[in-house]
């Protein structure tokens, strides 16, 4: 493999072109397409939405005043979730730590900020600055002071739901902090992780399924346990979490890094992507494009003067790119009348920004090279290989990691292709599995069926990897086409060699 890589130059699959294909030799040629781009804000994608209640029917926080974590007669609450682990996913925990610093400077108390993070990157052996997490090149430490409410295996869907609902008895481990909110309180939820159609990842336990999450939010609304809620979501296909599921009368305003069928993008990636990268040579991406857009916008503005809608437009412009195929559409869902609320109502504001004079000017985009969230781990493994000394054990291990990941991806691709052909025939398989439902419809009609199909696949073919989760739409389409448990079991047994445990 070393000879092949050297023959391609020092960085064979990092290119200034939007798309480049490389091959690795390991007994046979393995082809992998990796997309990267120069992200600019020249597009203005437009989303469509259902009619909503007028703003005056739901109340408005845009004129709220108050200090610390209070807004009018209520409090501000925040839930921050990094839904991944491992150093390769550094950026998700960095995003969440950065969000905490904004909330803390904004006046929220730790007792009202609940943080989910695996906490395995700050002191990781590959971190060039032990005990420090940064969210951009040469950035400040965002790890300092972050509460460790739920870490390790405590970062799971059940605890996430329990925290939102204020249900302490349903918690497993952790600090015990929950959103113990009342009818006049505001809630801010920020989630950064890998996603796929209809699901969000968690490092432990089951996925966060869109229908389950929306049901939790509905229960919170029925309990009259908040006045208004904002949900910022960073993940691939993140629009699928709310599309056709989040009603417009729950007083919840949500924005997502992408629509229901697009990747989202990792940013501030290693030196081959960004010449200004710090000298310590991080070999992983430090942030995500949608996330750094709202975080860096919040860092510098007087948030009493900036509305949710204004920030949405700033983030939308910065996340869009000059090449549509390699960008994502930031979307908004739910009660859009809340976009007139001030950001201050949810995240407070840093007093140091009181005299900021350019609050009304559009924020110019940073010129960034970004990589698809799903390919960020390949970039990490390549950089590990590239940096390791020639002939070292570390280089051999890094080479194996990279080739194993590529091989694993091919294996999943082949399995899904084979299952699809068994279920729908050679001619119809691709059409059925790749169908995207019209805007406004949820991913699937029967979410219980989706769970059964996924669990059946995992039983016979092994756990879905982060890459494998891209096929959640294919699984959903099996349900939409009427595939039942017996058919899926039969197709999985014929496809996969794994024998399920007795």
Q: What is the mean pLDDT of residues 469-482?
A: 98
CB atoms closer than 10 angstroms to residue 212:
17
Tell me if 237 sits within 8 A of 243, measured CB to CB. Answer: no
Q: Where are the alpha helices (DSSP H) in 223-300?
A: 289-300
> Is 236 one of the catalytic residues?
yes
What pLDDT is stored for residue 138 in this prediction?
87
The tens digit of pLDDT for each residue in 68-101 reads 455 667 999 999 999 999 999 999 999 999 999 9
What pLDDT is stored for residue 280 in this prediction?
60
CB atoms closer than 10 angstroms to residue 300:
14
What pLDDT is stored for residue 283 in this prediction?
86
Distance between CA 333 and CA 238 in Å, rounded? Answer: 11
Tell me which H or E stretch contains 126.
none
What pLDDT is stored for residue 273 in this prediction?
52
Give the number of C-alpha atoms closer than 13 A to the C-alpha of residue 405, restricted to the C-beta side: 18
Q: 36, 97, 236, 269: which one is catalytic?
A: 236
3 state SS for 324-373: HHHCCCCEEEECHHHHHCECHHHHCCCHHHCCCCCCCCCCCCCCEEEEEH
The predicted model scores a pTM of 0.84
Least confident of 51-65, 109-123, 425-439: 51-65
What pLDDT is stored for residue 376 in this prediction?
85
Please report which confidence band the pLDDT of residue 16 belongs to, taking 50, 70 and 90 as the band edges: very low
What pLDDT is stored for residue 45 in this prediction?
32
Q: What is the mean pLDDT of residues 221-231?
A: 99
Distance between CA 113 and CA 77 in Å, rounded? Answer: 6
Q: pLDDT: is 175 or 48 the higher one?
A: 175
Distance between CA 483 and CA 468 in Å, rounded? Answer: 20
Please report which confidence band the pLDDT of residue 40 belongs to, taking 50, 70 and 90 as the band edges: very low
Q: Give the residue among 379, 381, 370 at the shortest CA–CA distance from 36.
A: 370
Is residue 41 predicted with pLDDT exceeding 70?
no
Please report which confidence band the pLDDT of residue 282 belongs to, taking 50, 70 and 90 as the band edges: confident
Beta bridge partners of residue 24, listed in sequence order: 30
Q: Give the residue among 45, 11, 72 at the shortest CA–CA distance from 386.
A: 11
The tens digit of pLDDT for each residue in 206-219 reads 999 999 999 999 99
pLDDT, the chain, mean: 84
Structural domains of the chain ordered from first start: 73-367 (3.40.50.1460), 412-502 (1.10.132.130)
Q: What is the DSSP string of 398-449?
A: HHHHHHHHHHHHHHHHHHHHHHHHHHH-TTTHHHHHT--PPTTS-S-S-HHH
Is residue 15 predicted with pLDDT exceeding 70?
no
Q: What is the mean pLDDT of residues 48-68?
A: 35
Q: pLDDT: is 499 or 343 the higher one?
A: 343
Pick from 2-11, 19-28, 274-283 the range whose average pLDDT is largest. 274-283
Residue with tokens 């072109």: 17
Please report which confidence band the pLDDT of residue 275 belongs to, taking 50, 70 and 90 as the band edges: low
What pLDDT is stored for residue 355 in this prediction?
81
What pLDDT is stored for residue 194 in this prediction?
94
Indicate the SS3 state at residue 233. Answer: strand
> Is 92 one of the catalytic residues?
no
Q: Give the residue among 25, 35, 30, 28 at the shortest CA–CA distance from 3.
A: 25
Contacts of 280 (CB under 8 A, 6+ apart): 128, 129
Distance between CA 456 and CA 446 in Å, rounded? Answer: 16
Task: Give the torsion through C-alpha atoms of 107, 112, 118, 121, to 10 deg.
Answer: 10
Least confident of 157-161, 386-390, 467-471: 386-390
The tens digit of pLDDT for each residue in 254-267 reads 999 999 999 999 98
Least confident of 7-21, 179-193, 252-266, 351-365: 7-21
What pLDDT is stored for residue 93 in this prediction?
99
- Cα–Cα distances in angstroms (integers) from residue 79 to residues 33, 117, 347, 348, 391, in the given order: 36, 11, 11, 14, 46
Q: 61, 92, 98, 194: which one is catalytic?
A: 194
Is residue 106 predicted with pLDDT exceeding 90?
yes
- Cα–Cα distances in angstroms (integers) from residue 71 to residues 59, 108, 160, 299, 455, in the given order: 13, 11, 24, 20, 44
- Two structure tokens written together for 362: 């559009």
The tens digit of pLDDT for each residue in 348-368 reads 999 999 887 654 444 444 456
Q: What is the mean pLDDT of residues 396-418?
A: 94
- Two structure tokens written together for 313: 């437009």
């Amino acid at each position: 493999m070393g000879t092949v890589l050297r023959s391609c130059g020092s960085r064979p699959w990092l290119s200034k072109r939007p798309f480049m294909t490389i091959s690795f030799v390991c007994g046979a040629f393995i082809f992998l397409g990796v997309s990267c781009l120069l992200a600019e804000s020249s597009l203005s994608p437009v989303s469509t939405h259902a009619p909503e209640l007028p703003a005056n029917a739901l109340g408005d926080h845009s004129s709220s005043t108050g200090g610390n974590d209070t807004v009018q007669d209520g409090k501000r609450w925040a839930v921050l979730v990094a839904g991944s682990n491992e150093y390769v996913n550094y950026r998700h925990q960095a995003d969440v730590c950065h969000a905490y610093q904004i909330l803390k400077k904004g006046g929220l108390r730790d007792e009202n900020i609940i943080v989910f993070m695996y906490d395995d990157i700050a002191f990781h052996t590959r971190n060039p600055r032990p005990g420090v997490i940064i969210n951009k090149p040469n950035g400040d430490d965002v790890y300092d002071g972050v509460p460790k409410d739920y870490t390790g295996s405590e970062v799971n869907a059940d605890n996430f739901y329990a925290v939102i609902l204020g249900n302490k008895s349903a918690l497993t481990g952790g600090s015990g902090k929950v959103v113990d909110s009342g009818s006049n309180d505001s809630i801010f939820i920020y989630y950064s992780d890998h996603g796929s159609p209809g699901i969000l990842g968690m490092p432990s336990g089951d996925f966060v399924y869109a229908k389950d999450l929306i049901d939790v939010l509905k229960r919170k609304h029925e309990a009259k346990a908040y006045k208004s809620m904002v949900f910022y979501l960073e993940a691939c296909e993140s629009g699928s979490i709310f599309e056709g599921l989040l009603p417009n009368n729950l007083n919840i305003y949500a924005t997502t890094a992408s629509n229901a069928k697009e990747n989202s993008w990792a940013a501030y990636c290693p030196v081959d992507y960004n010449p200004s990268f710090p000298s310590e040579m991080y070999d992983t991406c430090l942030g995500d494009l949608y996330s750094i857009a709202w975080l860096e916008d919040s860092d510098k503005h007087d948030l009493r003067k900036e509305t949710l809608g204004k920030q949405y437009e700033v983030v939308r412009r910065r996340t869009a790119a000059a090449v549509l195929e390699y960008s994502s559409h930031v979307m908004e869902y739910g009660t859009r009348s809340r976009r007139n609320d001030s950001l201050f109502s949810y995240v407070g504001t840093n007093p140091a920004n009181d005299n900021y004079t350019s609050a009304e000017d559009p924020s110019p985009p940073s010129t960034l090279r970004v990589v698809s969230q799903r390919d960020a781990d390949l970039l990490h493994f390549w950089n590990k290989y590239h940096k390791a000394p020639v002939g070292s054990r570390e280089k051999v291990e890094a080479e194996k990691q990279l080739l194993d990941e590529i091989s694993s991806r091919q294996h999943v691709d082949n399995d899904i292709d084979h299952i699809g052909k068994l279920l729908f025939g050679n001619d119809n398989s691709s059409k059925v599995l790749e169908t995207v439902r019209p805007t406004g419809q949820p991913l699937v009609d029967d979410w219980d069926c989706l769970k059964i199909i996924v669990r059946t696949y995992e039983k016979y073919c092994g756990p879905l990897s982060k890459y494998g989760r891209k096929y959640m739409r294919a699984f959903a389409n099996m349900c939409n086409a009427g595939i039942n448990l017996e058919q899926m079991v039969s197709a999985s047994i014929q496809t996969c060699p794994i024998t399920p445990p007795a």
